[in-house]
């Protein structure tokens, strides 16, 4: 476990999450509101660098904070509104080692109330709608769905199950190149004199 902790240290985990997610997210339109028929929502988001800390405990667990600048387009059939939000999505990432030698990341998606959301309306009418229609709760629910969708993508699934035997097989030529002789000159024996000997090497 200490070996895994050194390999998957905090900075490596955070930067890997950044690389997996990319720069932006796009999703929608998806039904929202009662019966998912009240409106449709589309999302355009820009990811910012993740932050996080290792949590104390026997298992290797990280609390990762994912900041996103988000534009929500709300289409209410007869009217459209745009909302801008600064969002922080907390993820809990725990590392397990499965037999024979697979590193598995479990990523726990937050509950809706754990999503931090600071919402700004694009118009006065949208601001009124925000207050009377419970838009923030709906957008939090939508964001959790977005995160679920992102984490279900095939390349994310692949990244969270690392078969170390396969990885070592694939990278062994590069590893062995660090210590194998590189040519005939590396194989030449070097004569080392005994202590007190006058023989030159």
pLDDT digits (tens, 9 = 90+) for 142-165: 788 878 888 888 888 888 888 988
Contacts of 192 (CB under 8 A, 6+ apart): 201
CA-CA-CA-CA torsion sign (129, 135, 136, 137): positive
Q: Would you mind telling me the total number of residues written for the chain in this entry? A: 201
Q: What is the pTM for the complete model shown? A: 0.72
- Considering only residues 36 and 10, tell me which one the structure prediction assigns the higher pLDDT: 10
Inter-helix orientation angle 124-132/135-151, to 10°? 90
Residue 196 lies in a domain: no
Residue 193 lies in a domain: no
Residue 169 lies in a domain: no
Residue 126: predicted pLDDT: 52
pLDDT digits (tens, 9 = 90+) for 161-172: 889 889 889 999
For residues 120, 126, 130 and 136, what is the CA-based torsion angle, rounded to 10 degrees? -50
Residue 32 lies in a domain: yes
Residue 188 lies in a domain: no
Residue 124 lies in a domain: yes
pLDDT above 90 (res 51): yes
pLDDT above 90 (res 11): yes
Q: Give the residue-averaged pLDDT of 133-148.
A: 77
- Report the percentage of the chain scoring pLDDT > 70: 81
The domain that holds 11 is classified in CATH as 3.15.10
Range of the domain at 62: 2-163
Residue 200 lies in a domain: no
H or E element that contains 71: strand 60-75
**pLDDT category of residue 64 using cuts at 50, 70 and 90:** very high
Q: How many domains does the chain have?
A: 1
Residue 55 lies in a domain: yes
Using only C-alpha atoms, what is the Rg of the chain? 26
């Amino acid at each position: 476990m200490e070996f895994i902790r050194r390999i998957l240290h905090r900075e490596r985990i955070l930067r890997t999450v950044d690389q997996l997610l990319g720069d932006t997210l796009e999703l929608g339109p998806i039904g929202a509101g009662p019966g998912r028929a009240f409106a449709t929502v589309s999302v355009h988001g820009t990811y910012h660098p993740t932050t996080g800390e290792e949590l104390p405990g026997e298992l290797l667990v990280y609390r990762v904070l994912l900041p996103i600048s988000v534009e929500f387009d709300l289409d209410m059939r007869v009217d459209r509104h745009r909302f801008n939000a600064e969002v922080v999505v907390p993820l809990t990432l725990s590392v397990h080692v499965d037999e024979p030698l697979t590193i598995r990341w479990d990523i726990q998606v937050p509950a809706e109330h754990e999503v931090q959301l600071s919402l700004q309306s694009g118009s006065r009418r949208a601001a009124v709608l925000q207050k009377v229609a419970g838009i923030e709760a709906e957008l939090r629910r939508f964001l959790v769905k977005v995160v679920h969708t992102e984490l279900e993508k095939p390349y994310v699934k692949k990244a969270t199950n690392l078969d170390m035997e396969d990885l070592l097989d694939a990278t062994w030529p590069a590893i062995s190149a660090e210590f194998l002789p590189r040519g005939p000159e590396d194989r030449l024996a070097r004569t080392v004199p005994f202590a007190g000997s006058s023989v030159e090497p």
